[in-house]
Amino acid sequence: MVEDFEEDEEPLKAEIENRIAARVCKSMAVKGGQILSDEEQRALIRDLENCQNPRTCPHGRPTMIHLSINLLEQQFGRKGKI
């Protein structure tokens, strides 16, 4: 197995690149409680809209949720005008 890696380092190289990219992304990520300017917020939304998979983060957690009008009406105890 060691000889295989010595002959073909591509799998190892790809793994190292993936780990470096993950570390950079984690350190650059917006942290909970971090305050963003209006422009930073807009840029974040634009970036999210341009992602291949905008509905979840790399860990699989949702980045957005859908709230129906019915659910909002229930939560606020009011019926909106439609």
DSSP E strand boundaries for the chain: none
CATH code of the domain occupying 2-76: 3.30.1540
Q: What is the pLDDT of residues 21-75, one digit of tens each?
A: 888 888 888 888 999 999 999 999 999 999 888 999 878 889 999 999 999 999 9
Q: How far apart are CA 6 and CA 2, in angstroms?
A: 6
Predicted model pTM: 0.52
Domain positions in the chain: 2-76
Q: Is there a contact between 25 and 58 (Cβ–Cβ < 8 Å)?
A: yes
User: What backbone phi and psi angles, to 5 degrees, belong to 38?
Assistant: -55, -45
- Note the maximum CA span of the chain: 71
